[in-house]
Amino acid sequence: SAVISQKPSRDICQRGTSLTIQCQVDSQVTMMFWYRQQPGQSLTLIATANQGSEATYESGFVIDKFPISRPNLTFSTLTVSNMSPEDSSIYLCSVDEGAGTEAFFGQGTRLTVV
Amino acid sequence: QKEVEQNSGPLSVPEGAIASLNCTYSDRGSQSFFWYRQYSGKSPELIMSIYSNGDKEDGRFTAQLNKASQYVSLLIRDSQPSDSATYLCAVNIGRTGRRALTFGSGTRLQVQP
């Protein structure tokens, strides 16, 4: 399975600021996904990061708030913009290597907004 | 109706017993089904995948899929205290072109020593 490195692992940020989270994979993967896990909740998909085109966002998530980059097949970033305490969550990068294959997760970024 | 439903628990079983975790899903077109284990403060760890009807065994874990009933389960035999975690059912909802997973809310399992 792909090895996924995500950083930072945690951060405490001031409201109104932005944080960029990086996801690096040790092999080329077709699909990269960004999820959010709010305290005590399950995982919610934010967007699918597409290589060479704009990310595809789920209902309730917009590009201005969560801009995503995918410059190549091994790397993606998620920015959480103009943060508020409601953005305090774990943000997770996930990859799969093809249709019908298993999906694996990075170690996550625990974000606290104060 | 939620797309993927799980009982939130906690499910409490004694050490050595069989833990049975259940999950139902709404989309009949779903093709891929996964069980993840998540320890507190950690990211989800894949423990089982299943794609066709029937049982799939891997060590102490057995996944069961019944597409007609839209039901997938996970059995953990000889439960250990280290199995205490939240178990997430994830489904590749059968929307055209979509590969991301939809997760249930998770079942918290407690294995009592």
pLDDT at B49: 93
* B20 reaches A (C-beta below 8 A): no
B43 and A108 in contact by Cβ < 8 A?
Answer: yes
By percentage, how much of chain B surpasses pLDDT 70?
95
Question: Which residue's structure tokens are 């069980």?
Answer: B35
When pLDDT is cut at 50, 70 and 90, the band that residue B94 belongs to is low
pLDDT tens for B35-55 read 999 999 899 999 999 999 999
Distance from CA of B27 to the nearest CA of A (A): 16
Q: Measure the CA–CA gap between B104 and A44, rounded to whole angstroms.
A: 10
**Cis? peptide before A71, omega within 30° of 0:** no
Q: How far is B4 from chain A (nearest CA, A)?
A: 11
DSSP A51: T
B67-76: per-residue pLDDT in tens?
999 999 999 9
**Is A45 exposed, middle or buried (CB count within 10 Å of its CB: 0-12, 13-18, 19+)?**
buried
Confidence grade of residue B4 (pLDDT, cut at 50, 70, 90): very high
Residue B97 has pLDDT above 70, yes or no: no
Q: Which of residues 26-45 of B touch A (CB under 8 A)?
A: 31-32, 34, 41-45
> Percent of chain B, pLDDT > 90?
80
The CA distance from A80 to B99, in Å, is 23
* Cβ <8 Å between B49 and A43: no
Q: Could you list the pLDDT tens digit for every one of the 114 residues in chain A? A: 789 999 999 999 999 999 999 999 999 988 899 999 998 888 999 999 988 888 999 999 999 999 999 999 999 999 999 999 999 999 999 998 776 678 889 999 999 999
For residue A90, the chain B residues in CB contact (below 8 A) are 43
- Is the CB of residue A72 less than 8 Å from the CB of residue A52? no
Q: Between chains, do A105 and B43 touch, taking CB under 8 Å as contact?
A: yes
What local confidence, expressed as pLDDT, does residue B67 receive?
94
Q: Where are the beta strands (DSSP E) in chain B?
A: 4-5, 11-14, 19-25, 32-38, 45-50, 54-58, 61-66, 71-76, 85-92, 102-103, 107-112
Nearest to A33 among B42, B100, B105 (CB): B100
Please report the pLDDT score of residue A99 as a whole number: 65
Pairing of β A10-13 and β B19-25: unpaired
Tokens, residue A45: 């998909």
How many Cβ pairs closer than 8 A exist between chain A and B? 50
What is the predicted pLDDT for the residue at B98?
A: 64
B80, B15 in Cβ contact below 8 A? yes
* Residue B96 vs residues A32, A43, B30, B44, B104: alpha-carbon distances, Å: 17, 21, 10, 25, 20
Higher per-residue pLDDT: B1 or A82? A82
Task: Specify the pLDDT at position A52.
Answer: 81
Residue A102 is predicted with a pLDDT of: 80
